[in-house]
Amino acid sequence: MPVTPSQQAEIDALRAQSAPTARPTVPALEALLYTPLPVLDHGFVRVIDYMGDDAAIVQAARVSYGRGTRRVSEDAGLIRYLMRHRHSTPFEMCEIKFHVKLPIFVARQWIRHRTANVNEYSARYSILDREFYIPAPEHLAAQSASNRQGRGTVLDGDEAARVLDLLREDATRTYDHYVEMLNEDEAGAPRDPGRQGLARELARMNLTLNTYTQWYWKADLHNLFHFLSLRADAHAQYEIRVYAEAMMQTVEAWVPLAAAAFRDYRLGAVTLSAGMLEVVRRMLDGEPVDQKASGLNKREWTELMAALGRP
């Protein structure tokens, strides 16, 4: 289950609380606060806390004391200008904290983004849950022949069934061995009083990478946008992309003007090199340009044609 009964009780208690505040709040995000957004088979993303809103970005850019009397359209125009020209500091005025439950192999990819504050569930002190990520059949794919870190055609039939069996068997067996080495139940009491268990920090080492872990992850909006620009991209690995998409849902509730600008100028945009831009200019002037005459290598040419929607 994505959320344990104790976690659900904590969520219910937090959502039942109400406290007056003088700081800006965002009703759409308040409605999502503490609520887990399911991801994969056992994972989730939930917002724990946040600071700032679209107005905070505008306020920082204008260096004013009040929220100002500008119209929303003017605020949107300024935010779009800041995003378009990569003025990042005003976006750093907003921060958000997530509680994320995710497979270990996704966490190891995610942690490459070193611009956040992270505190992970410690298997040195606690016992990990018996929960593993098992891909849905449509996400079982062979290695791509053209991309060393990508997927090719989807496996099917007996081959797919065998892979799923192996994933379940390996995860179950290693977790059984983990419990046996610990010689502890979930409360920390010995299962067999007649023998000592292995230290938790050692017993964890044979667990499979699809075992679930959890962490708190806090970032400012500028660095969150950088994370999302890479991980919500269609080329990102599926298992981390779905977490980014869930986080994007919360960002759109939190800072809708900034989120719209981000979709236009980052997520839905492409960057052209000087050489690519020169090819576009030549094409607009009516010159027939092929890859050989473009001065671009084959990969750059392919990327440019894809961006322009040309075969």
Structure confidence at residue 148 (pLDDT) = 65
When pLDDT is averaged across residues 1-21 and rounded to a whole number, the result is: 84
pLDDT at residue 236 above 90?
Answer: yes
Tens of pLDDT, residue by residue over 166-216, are: 999 999 999 999 999 998 876 678 888 888 899 999 999 999 999 999 999
pLDDT at 34: 95
Amino acid sitting at position 174: T
Higher pLDDT, 308 or 152: 308
For the chain, the domains span 5-133+210-267, 136-208, 274-308
- As a whole number, mean pLDDT of residues 50-79 equals 82
Given the residues 200, 204, 231, 266, select the one marked as catalytic. Answer: 231
pLDDT tier for residue 242 given thresholds of 50, 70 and 90: very high
* CA dist., res. 246 & res. 39, Å (int): 7
Closest CA to 105 of 144, 136, 132, 127: 132
The alpha carbons of the chain give a radius of gyration, in whole angstroms, of: 24
Section 78-94 average pLDDT: 95
* pLDDT at 70 exceeding the cut of 80: no
Per-residue confidence (pLDDT) for residue 194, from 0 to 100? 84
**Is the pLDDT assigned to residue 66 strictly greater than 70?**
no
Token output for 185: 């139940």
* Predicted confidence (pLDDT) at residue 18 exceeds the cutoff of 60: yes
The residues, ordered by sequence, that sit 6+ positions from 242 with a Cβ below 8 Å of its Cβ are: 39, 40
How many CA atoms are closer than 13 Å to the CA of 292, on its beta-carbon side?
0
Return d(Cα 173, Cα 177) in angstroms, integer. 6
**Residue 267 DSSP symbol:** I
Mean pLDDT along residues 76-94: 95
Active site residue 231: yes
- The mean pLDDT of 82-92, rounded to a whole number, is 95
The structure's pTM equals 0.90
What's the fold here for domain 5-133+210-267?
A: Gyrase A; domain 2 (3.30.1360)
